[in-house]
Amino acid sequence: MKNQNNLEAKNLRFGFIAQEVEKFLPSLVRTDGRGEKALMYNDIIAILTMTLQYELESMARVEVRVEQHEVRITDTESRV
Protein backbone atom coordinates (compact mmCIF):
# COMPACT_ATOMS: atom_id res chain seq x y z
CA MET A 1 0.00 0.00 0.00
CA LYS A 2 1.44 3.34 -0.97
CA ASN A 3 0.43 6.88 -0.14
CA GLN A 4 0.24 9.93 -2.42
CA ASN A 5 4.01 10.47 -2.48
CA ASN A 6 4.50 6.86 -3.60
CA LEU A 7 6.10 6.03 -0.25
CA GLU A 8 5.32 2.82 1.56
CA ALA A 9 2.57 3.06 4.14
CA LYS A 10 3.54 3.21 7.81
CA ASN A 11 1.51 0.09 8.68
CA LEU A 12 1.77 -3.12 6.68
CA ARG A 13 -1.58 -3.94 5.04
CA PHE A 14 -2.80 -6.88 2.96
CA GLY A 15 -5.38 -7.02 0.23
CA PHE A 16 -6.22 -8.11 -3.28
CA ILE A 17 -5.54 -6.32 -6.55
CA ALA A 18 -8.89 -5.31 -8.01
CA GLN A 19 -7.79 -5.78 -11.62
CA GLU A 20 -6.71 -9.37 -10.92
CA VAL A 21 -9.92 -10.27 -9.09
CA GLU A 22 -11.98 -8.61 -11.82
CA LYS A 23 -10.71 -11.17 -14.38
CA PHE A 24 -12.40 -14.01 -12.46
CA LEU A 25 -15.14 -12.33 -10.43
CA PRO A 26 -16.05 -9.01 -12.08
CA SER A 27 -19.13 -8.56 -9.90
CA LEU A 28 -16.83 -8.03 -6.89
CA VAL A 29 -15.18 -4.94 -8.40
CA ARG A 30 -16.63 -1.44 -8.58
CA THR A 31 -15.19 1.31 -10.76
CA ASP A 32 -15.78 4.92 -9.75
CA GLY A 33 -16.16 7.92 -12.07
CA ARG A 34 -12.39 8.46 -12.19
CA GLY A 35 -11.75 4.88 -13.29
CA GLU A 36 -10.38 3.77 -9.91
CA LYS A 37 -11.31 0.22 -8.98
CA ALA A 38 -12.28 -1.03 -5.54
CA LEU A 39 -13.14 -4.44 -4.21
CA MET A 40 -16.29 -5.28 -2.31
CA TYR A 41 -14.61 -7.11 0.57
CA ASN A 42 -17.87 -8.11 2.29
CA ASP A 43 -18.84 -10.05 -0.81
CA ILE A 44 -15.37 -11.64 -0.99
CA ILE A 45 -15.81 -12.87 2.59
CA ALA A 46 -19.14 -14.48 1.66
CA ILE A 47 -17.65 -16.23 -1.38
CA LEU A 48 -14.62 -17.45 0.58
CA THR A 49 -16.89 -18.76 3.34
CA MET A 50 -19.08 -20.59 0.82
CA THR A 51 -16.01 -22.09 -0.85
CA LEU A 52 -14.58 -23.20 2.49
CA GLN A 53 -17.89 -24.88 3.41
CA TYR A 54 -17.88 -26.75 0.09
CA GLU A 55 -14.27 -27.86 0.56
CA LEU A 56 -14.95 -29.05 4.12
CA GLU A 57 -17.91 -31.10 2.90
CA SER A 58 -15.75 -32.58 0.13
CA MET A 59 -13.03 -33.42 2.63
CA ALA A 60 -15.55 -35.14 4.90
CA ARG A 61 -16.71 -37.30 1.97
CA VAL A 62 -13.12 -38.21 1.14
CA GLU A 63 -12.43 -39.12 4.78
CA VAL A 64 -15.44 -41.46 4.78
CA ARG A 65 -14.24 -43.14 1.59
CA VAL A 66 -10.72 -43.55 2.97
CA GLU A 67 -12.13 -45.08 6.13
CA GLN A 68 -14.24 -47.49 4.05
CA HIS A 69 -11.19 -48.48 2.02
CA GLU A 70 -9.15 -49.03 5.17
CA VAL A 71 -11.86 -51.36 6.49
CA ARG A 72 -11.90 -53.27 3.20
CA ILE A 73 -8.09 -53.56 3.21
CA THR A 74 -8.03 -54.75 6.81
CA ASP A 75 -10.77 -57.27 6.07
CA THR A 76 -8.96 -58.52 2.96
CA GLU A 77 -5.66 -58.83 4.83
CA SER A 78 -7.29 -60.81 7.62
CA ARG A 79 -8.73 -63.27 5.10
CA VAL A 80 -5.37 -63.74 3.35
User: What is the pLDDT, as a whole number, of residue 9?
Assistant: 60
- For residue 2, the 8-state DSSP code is B
Cβ atoms 29, 18 nearer than 8 A: yes
User: What is the pLDDT, as a whole number, of residue 3?
Assistant: 53
Residue 6 CB-half CA count within 13 A: 0
Q: What is the pLDDT of residues 11-69, one digit of tens each?
A: 677 889 999 999 999 999 999 999 999 999 999 999 999 999 999 999 999 999 999 99
CA-nearest of 39, 36, 15 to 26 is 39
| pLDDT of residue 1 exceeding 50 | no
User: What is the pLDDT, as a whole number, of residue 53?
Assistant: 98
Give CA torsion, residues 61, 67, 70, 74, to 10 deg.
-150
